[in-house]
Structure 1
């Protein structure tokens, strides 16, 4: 039987902790008797007992480096902004957690983390030189804090060697299903159906460009220019002139902070605007294409499908359903 532990830290995000535990418990109950599957997880902490972000006291066992688990989950911390997360990472228990994670990984354990828990894992240095994902709105902060990690924040789940990272909050479910799937793909599928967990689109589908946190002044200036020029063709030279830097410098800054090219981010803003117009107005797709700088509706339809996981008709239907409520 696989020995699974959850390493909880004071201020752990209630939903993340419960999502992982409930998914494993459901799988254990649904497993056939002859499968001998048990996916229960023991909750450990650096000290005995932790309090969740909502103030609930969770009884835990004290984690020992000699416990040698097979899988360790680091759930999210109850922090939503880079400022709050910075404070949370100063918690003295973080140092103890880092030491445990390094030791367990050296002993052969797989370390998994979701949402803001990925920051705790990144603090260990184990992700340096490897790919990872995190909460989409904290991607810029993650890149600035851990430049040695190859962040792929468009993805919901990233696995590399014995390290697994998952995106924002509900990706705790994806992480639990991934673990169950390693033992039984059919049981993972049944568990997902019982919990009404549909296969999720890439994390990029849920990202809102306007909510991606970044502090770089040049990036802020570029975003202002981009939003004012959604109807116009993209020009890196014009954008750089507005920001007051060279085109090369602007490209480097945008990629460092946002993980994509200026053109790709401009395109994201256009798709965001088009999605909003489709779900809140009766403008035709052709009219919306013109307002968002596309020569024809076909190009816009393709991008909408790729970026949002929905067709233009499906996005329009959202508006119609809201109107009928």
Structure 2
């Protein structure tokens, strides 16, 4: 059982905290138990003031001592990231990192990771509105405010609020594959992945209607050769308007989004079937194994065969 510890310090953002609980609790397949145990931990006998859309107080069922054996520790955002970090929280994070625990932050939780020295010399992100302050306060951190999350292996950071969901789904995908992450995403009524970054949210642009139905249709038709003209016709807009709205709503172009959707579908088929790579390439619309291998390698960092072998090796542990 993989233990996920959620660090609840005073001033924690309630949505960020509960996001971790909900997403990991949704990571189970029919007829199987969840591979995760989630612990919300705070200082012993402490009542934590959590701030989301309003204020409330909570009593965490676990203490900081219960993070000693956590495989993953998640640090939610803080209402006031300028407040001095609690020494016990910094000690906990540095000790956990030294023993090899995976550590992730949501939103302004990155300030705690930076204060603990876990982001020194590394690329990291946070909420776009706090990115400049993070860079100014911790100049050794390479702050990138344009992305939804950054995975540095042992240490991960995400952008604000809903990007925490993207991060948690990514962790599930990393641990147990795309199929289980997709199951969790469906249960929380969330796309299994969102291409693009948070730059799309910095300046508000009226999107002119949601493209979600069009993207759902694209996912259902990955096996076909989808051209921009046909996608635009499905969305009932011009190609120019399609490109503009797609970038506004996803941060990327329709064709780049389509490639990533095909790669993710290929991951699911590699995990859940014994289909040859050539057949999978045809099913997901790449047309040939060579094209699949190229796009798969660029986005996953390994070949389809190596990915399948590593996934099955993990399942046997």
- Shorter-normalised TM range: 0.5 to 0.7
Tell me the residue number matched to 2:68.
67
Match of 1:191 among 177, 184, 188: 184
Tell me the residue number matched to 1:26.
26
- Pairing 1:143-292 to 2, within 5 Å after superposition: 143-185=135-177, 186-198=179-191, 199-209=193-203, 275=205, 279=208
Q: Distance in 2 between matches of 1:107 and 1:170?
A: 29
- What whole-Å deviation, never above 9, does each CA across 1:175-232 have from its counterpart, x for those lacking one? 22122112322111111112111122433343324xxxxxxxxxxxxxxxxxxxxxxx
Q: Distance in 2 between matches of 1:147 and 1:178?
A: 27
Are 2:16 and 1:41 aligned?
Answer: no
Tell me the residue number matched to 1:15.
15
* TM superposition shift of 1:104: 0.5
Contact 1:5 1:44 in 2 (8 A): yes
* TM superposition shift of 1:279: 5.0
* TM superposition shift of 1:62: 2.1
Max Rg structure: 1
Q: TM-score, normalised by structure 2?
A: 0.61
* TM superposition shift of 1:303: 6.9
Q: Distance in 2 between matches of 1:19 and 1:311?
A: 25
C-alpha change, 1:110 and 1:310, in structure 2 (3 Å) is closer
Contact 2:6 2:75 in 1 (8 A): yes
Contact 1:21 1:40 in 2 (8 A): no
Q: Distance in 2 between matches of 1:66 and 1:120?
A: 16
* TM superposition shift of 1:158: 0.3
Are 2:130 and 1:112 aligned?
Answer: no
C-alpha change, 1:124 and 1:32, in structure 2 (3 Å) is same
**Secondary structure in 2 matching 1:56:** strand
Unpaired segments of 5 or more residues in structure 2? 210-238, 254-317
Q: Name the structure with the higher helix share.
A: 1
**Secondary structure in 2 matching 1:76:** coil
* TM superposition shift of 1:301: 8.1
**Secondary structure in 2 matching 1:165:** strand
C-alpha change, 1:37 and 1:302, in structure 2 (3 Å) is closer
- What whole-Å deviation, never above 9, does each CA across 1:54-113 have from its counterpart, x for those lacking one? 222223322138823211000111x2xxxx421xx226xx21101100001000101100
Contact 2:4 2:72 in 1 (8 A): yes
C-alpha change, 1:59 and 1:306, in structure 2 (3 Å) is closer
C-alpha change, 1:177 and 1:119, in structure 2 (3 Å) is same
* TM superposition shift of 1:3: 2.0
Contact 2:147 2:198 in 1 (8 A): yes
Contact 1:204 1:307 in 2 (8 A): no
What is the RMSD computed on CA atoms of the aligned residues? 3.1
